[in-house]
Amino acid sequence: MSAVRLRGFGWRHAGRKRWAVRGLDLRIEHGERVLLLGASGAGKSTLLAALAGLLPEDSGEQEGTVEVDGRDPRAAREEVGLLFQDPETQLVMARCGDDVAFGPENRGLPAGQIWPRVDEALRRVGFRYGRDRSTAALSGGEQQRLALAGVLALRPSLLLLDEPTANLDPAGAALIRDAVAAALDADTSLLLVEHRLAEALPLVDRVVVLAPGGGVHADGTPQAVFAAHGEALAAEGVWVPGHPTPLRRAATAPGTELLAADELALPPRLARVSLTVRAGEALAVHGPNGAGKSTLALLLGGLLAPAAGRVTATAELAGGDARTPPHRWRAPALVGRIGSVFQDPEHQFVTTTVAEELALGPRRTGRTEAQVRATVDALLDRLRLTALAAANPYTLSGGEARRLSVATALATAPRLLVCDEPTFGQDRRTWRELVELFAELRDNGHGLVTVTHDREFIAALADRQVRLEHPRRVS
């Protein structure tokens, strides 16, 4: 039995000026299944951490009260289970069964009761492998399923899920959705944070929207909330069903060829593939996990040497350098021609401020200081980053970091842009901005290659598609 009571709750992390969450009044009754929405920065993750008792008293300043079952959450830890985004940093042990047993061990459950509990938790999430399976041998979706089993083995009466599918491909996300649906019973309350409503709505009976300034913006059944606030929520970035995104296909035929991949391969990561990339065309590469999509992006971006076949740039893209393959170009020459956007934006950050980050590429390619400043200002403005110019890139939210990583690739005005899952885990607002930006680039004669799982993105933007198959299946 667990009910949640928040009265005027607020939390400010030590050393921060801004309150992460403030003025929150909320009751969640026993057995309710609640979807928690709100723009990024509205304090959803802080609220979950507070409910899980993971905010030590000395780590910040609290206002109002928060109670789980009439107790301080720090004293009601055994009632609450919390599943995070990233499966990689949730698994503790080398073997699956041991990992699920980790929680019950911590709670001091007698050894005789642990293994039956482990088996029950694995069954509840529909885990397909035995206890002795190595955790490293699982796919991302299976790892997250295992992490859920680890949480359920503690039999929490309040289950908190913090964007549990954000780091997973569609197949992995479906695994988790099914596992949560199967694991929920009448004794478990659920509080779920998720951008992708299509994934979340089958699991919940109530929606709570946090207001960016603090407090609750909307609260009720999904139908009632979306009927009254659907338009506004979609504009704020929530993926509300029934609000389609505009299509941005090319109006004109593609231009000249920029880059060609000829029988390109890098076993065991990528099987043979040939394709051409043209100016004024958005090419989408899709396919199952493990098909080598990211590897192909690195090869086309001139960042990785192929084991077989070759990547050839045309004179249109590389001028006199067209005879050498892109992976042999010096880095400053490369970024003037091909821009790469990585799946994890943080991999690409090199400097200590957002503005410096944008200035780096133009400086390396020998622009004058005045040109650099003009480029930086234009990009800050275009990607809504002006207010963050002096911020450290590592402190940005997911959407801000993504916008910055795309902006850094554009700063050197490359003719070709290669992006790896640029829309991954993005809210609807950032998503639309990215589609609009890519469409503009394409319409201005740039070539665009995107490797992605995102079907909506492909539908909205792609002029041509290439499907990769798993290397094992090809050979």
Partner 1 sequence: MINLEPVTRPDAPLARRNPVAKLAAALLCSVILIATLDPVAPAIAIAFELALLPLFGVRLRVLARRAMPLLVSAVGILVTLVLFAAERSGRTLIEAGPILITSGVLITALGLVLRMFAVALPGVTVVATTDPTDLADALVQNAKLPARFAYGALAAFRLVPLLAQEWQMISMARRARGVDAGRNPLARLRLFGSTAFTLLVGAIRRGTRLAVAMDARGFDATTPRSMARRQHFGRADGLLIAGAAVLAGAALAVSVAVGAFRPLIG
Q: Give me the residues that bind partner 1 (CB under 8 A), please.
A: 52, 54, 77-78, 81-82, 84, 86, 88-95, 98, 101-111, 114-115, 118, 135-136, 147, 150-151, 154, 298, 301, 303-304, 330-332, 334-335, 339-340, 342, 344, 346-350, 360-361, 364-365, 394, 408-409, 412
To the nearest whole angstrom, how small is the minimum distance from the Cβ of residue 90 to partner 1? 4
Closest distance of CB 303 from partner 1, Å: 4
Residue 73 is classified by DSSP as: G
Q: Measured from the CB atom, is 246 or 366 closer to partner 1?
A: 366
Can you tell me the distance from the alpha carbon of 216 to that of 7, in angstroms, rounded to the nearest whole number? 12
In terms of C-beta distances under 8 Å and separation of at least 24 residues, what long-range contacts does 87-91 make, across chains too? 87/140, 87/143, 87/144, 87/146, 87/147, 87/167, 87/168, 88/143, 90/143, 90/144, 90/147, 90/150, 91/135, 91/143, 91/146, 91/147, 91/150
Task: Name the residue nearer to partner 1 (CB basis): 36 or 51.
Answer: 51
Angle between helices 96-106 and 111-124 (to 10 degrees): 120
Whether the upstream peptide bond of residue 268 has omega within 30° of 0, thus cis, is yes
Please, which residue, 54 or 391, has the CB nearer to partner 1? 54
Residue 82 or 277 having the CB closest to partner 1: 82
Task: Select 114 or 168, whichever has its Cβ closest to partner 1.
Answer: 114
Kindly tell me which of 90 and 430 has the beta carbon lying closer to partner 1.
90
The DSSP code sequence of 188-241 is -EEEEE-SBHHHHGGG-SEEEEE-TTSSEEEEE-HHHHHHHHHHHHHHHT-B-T
Instruction: Quote the least distance from Cβ 86 to partner 1, whole Å.
Output: 6
Q: How many CB atoms lie within 10 A of CB 429?
A: 17
User: Helix or strand or coil: residue 243?
Assistant: coil
Closer residue to partner 1 (CB): 98 or 316: 98
Instruction: Give me the least distance between CB of 92 and partner 1, in Å please.
Output: 4
Give 357 or 427: the residue with its C-beta nearer to partner 1: 357
Which is nearest to 146 in space by CA: 98, 188, 193, 200? 98
The residues, ordered by sequence, that sit 6+ positions from 222 with a Cβ below 8 Å of its Cβ are 35, 201, 204, 205, 206, 207
Q: Which helix (H) or strand (E) holds 259?
A: strand 257-266
DSSP-assigned beta bridge partners for residue 257: 278
Q: How far is the CB of 112 from partner 1 (least distance, A)?
A: 10
Q: Considering the complex, what minimum distance in angstroms separates the CB of residue 392 from partner 1?
A: 11
The backbone torsions φ and ψ at residue 424, rounded to the nearest 5 degrees and listed phi first, read -55, 120
Q: Which is nearer to partner 1, 90 or 157 (CB)?
A: 90
Tokens 């003037």, residue located: 336
Q: How far is the CB of 186 from partner 1 (least distance, A)?
A: 24
Least distance in Å: CB of 213 to partner 1?
Answer: 27
Please, which residues have CB within 8 angstroms of residue 246's CB and are 6 or more apart in sequence? Answer: 432, 460
Task: State the minimum distance, in angstroms, from the CB of residue 205 to partner 1.
Answer: 25
Identify the residue whose tokens are 């997250």: 144
Residues in the chain: 475
- Which residues sit opposite 450 in a β-bridge? 284, 419
Residue with Cβ nearer partner 1 (106 or 444)? 106
Least Å distance, CB 85 to partner 1, is: 9
Residue 346 exposed, middle or buried by CB count within 10 Å (0-12, 13-18, 19+): exposed
The CA-atom distances, in angstroms, between 398 and each of 97, 103, 175, 239, 427 are 33, 30, 24, 16, 9
Query: CB-wise, 90 or 165, nearer to partner 1?
Result: 90
In the Cβ-directed half-sphere of 312, how many Cα atoms lie within 13 Å? Answer: 12
Minimum distance between the CB of residue 84 and partner 1, rounded to whole angstroms? 6
